Amino acid sequence: MKHIDFLMARFESAPQQTALIHKDSPLTFGELKQSVERHIAWLTQAGVKAGDAVVLLGDYSPQAVSLFLALTELACVLIPLTPSVHASLTQRIPEVAPQWQINAVGEEAVIERVAEAHELPQLYRELHARNSPGLVMFTSGSSGKPKAVVHDFAKLLDKFRVQRPAMITLNFLLFDHWGGLNTLLHALSNLCLIVFPVRRTPESVCELIERHRIELLPATPSFLNLLLISGAHQRRDLSSLKIISYGAEPMPASTLAGLNKTFPKVELRQTYGMIELGVLRAKTRSVDSLWVKVGGDGYQLRVVDGILQIKAESAMLGYINAPSPFTADGYLITGDLVEQDGEWLRILGRQSDIINVGGQKVYPSEVEAVLLEQANVVDSVVYGESHPLTGKIVCADILLANGTEEASARKEIVKACRQRLQPYMVPMKIRFVIGSLQTQRLKRTRSQQKKEASPANL
């Protein structure tokens, strides 16, 4: 073993300890180690070799995790994708030049050879020269077409060689996003029990927290807001929770206040990370503050024209299908707008999300924060639409609590916005999203609307 030697050694040190729980079925670290060894042999027999690019189709399961580790050990270029994301990226997949595809969705994994691309991406050649495993992930595409990020996976793995305290963890974030993989590798490297959810609804998540005495819940602000609105936390015993970490999008002040009130004994930990950089250590100024200090060993930060730039030892090698976002001296231009107070930062949102209304800049997160303070608003999405006079106008999609009368809600929302916001920031269009539409569909709507409103698509 070379690339995952430290993981396999730790698994061997606790063979009877439960590593994973999926669909109520436990798997020990000893069984996981044996599964990885079997999959290495299976892949080798199939003809998979170092440097091969492999799409791993699946979601969190013992089989998918075992294959993920086996492909890493073989120094393959690993492309993990959930089935839904894979279906949405049909036209993008050839850009990453896969040579194999493994379907790990069913009980038995199925491997098939893929017709090789005529030209091997240059970034893959760099990985081959280093004899390093690669990791390829796609950005969301909210500001244009999804970009294919290529990492030297050995660099990302380095931080997990240092052992940290173990906590029983719910792996809420996704299999093809670095946030989810970071949680997975953190748990495995520290011999934590990690629980995989089958459904990511408030009721299901709270049920798992109660049943398995979950201590660490990594989630998004959107989900945490939905959790508070649903009341699912009141129907379950969540007293085991020690930390709720959040990231991936700005946290509304109203949601943070609600979490502090609901979970006074739980540490709320803001995180900051990007697919291109990995996850940085973060420290909030206070429990109720949106100001955060990010960085740590291996990271350098600076703010240029209000945009955060980061230099990182673990930064990606580059994009396969897009120009480099690095400055001449090696800083990644994150595209995140920030306010700065000494070493403290407040993340305002993506530069591509700014709505330019007649020359005035509107940050969607500021408008969403006001909307979310209204009693009957469950979630909101603020975005821009083209307008012949002002260039853009502010629009809002709003999910109301069940039983709310739309006409009166509209009046109250407009009144609150006019009292709290500058006139150019008040939504000109408000659309109520009806009943059964859940937050995850709302988030997909947000992504598509941002894509349509981005300069590259106008």
Q: What CATH number has the domain bearing residue 125?
A: 3.40.50.980
- The pLDDT, as a whole number, for residue 373 is 85
Residue 311 covered by a domain: no
Give tens-digit pLDDT for 421-435.
998 899 999 999 865
Secondary structure of 275-331 in HEC code, one letter for each residue: CCCEEEEEEECCCCCCCEEEECCCEEEEEECCEEEEEECCCCCEECCCCCCECCCCC
Tell me the C-alpha distance between 414 and 136, whole Å: 44
Q: Is residue 383 part of a domain?
A: yes
Give Cα 376 distance to the centre of its chain: 27
- Strands 100-103 and 77-81, how do they pair? unpaired
Which of 157, 191, 211 corresponds to the end of one domain? 157
pLDDT reported for residue 88: 84
Is 266 inside any structural domain? no
Percentage with pLDDT > 90 across the chain: 52
CA-based end-to-end distance of the chain = 50
Q: Report the pLDDT value the prediction gives residue 426, as an integer from 0 to 100.
A: 93
Query: Is the model's pLDDT at 286 over the cut of 70?
Result: yes
Structure tokens at 70: 């086996």
Per-residue confidence (pLDDT) for residue 124, from 0 to 100: 95
Is pLDDT larger for residue 216 or for residue 174?
216
The residues with which 361 forms a beta bridge, in sequence order, are: 356
Closest to 184 in 3D by CA, of 16, 298, 26, 19: 19
pLDDT at position 339 is: 86
Number of domains in the chain: 2
Length of the chain: 458
Give the pLDDT of residue 143.
53
Instruction: Taking residues 327-349, report their average pLDDT.
Output: 87
Quote the CA–CA distance of 22 and 170 in Å, as a whole number.
11
Residue 420 covered by a domain: yes
What DSSP designation does 425 have?
G
Chain mean position to CA 66: 21
Domain endpoint, select from 157, 172, 192: 157
The arithmetic mean of pLDDT across residues 210-227, rounded, is 92
Q: Which domain holds residue 441?
A: 354-457
Average pLDDT over residues 117-132: 89
**Helices 439-453 and 221-230: angle between axes, nearest 10 degrees:** 140
Whether the CB-CB separation of 245 and 256 falls below 8 Å is answered with no
Please indicate, yes or no, if residue 115 is contained in any of the structural domains.
yes
pLDDT, residue 442, reads: 43
Q: What phi, psi does 342 have (nearest 5°)?
A: 65, -125
Q: At 454, is the pLDDT very low, low, confident or very high (cuts 50, 70, 90)?
A: very low
Instruction: Give the other-Cβ count within 10 Å of 300's Cβ.
Output: 13
What is the DSSP pairing of strand 148-152 with strand 134-138?
antiparallel
Distance CA 366, CA 287 (A): 20
pLDDT confidence band for 453 (50 / 70 / 90): very low
pLDDT band at 283 (very low <50, low <70, confident <90, very high): confident
Residue with tokens 């060689």: 161
Confidence of residue 141 (pLDDT cuts 50, 70, 90): low
Task: Give the residue from 87, 122, 157 where a domain finishes.
Answer: 157
Return the pLDDT at 388: 81
Task: Identify the pLDDT of residue 456.
Answer: 33
Domain CATH code at residue 423 = 3.30.300.30
Within a domain: 80: yes
Question: Angle formed by the axes of helices 406-420 and 364-372, to 10°?
Answer: 130
Separation of alpha carbons 450 and 280, rounded Å: 26
pLDDT tops 90 at residue 251: no
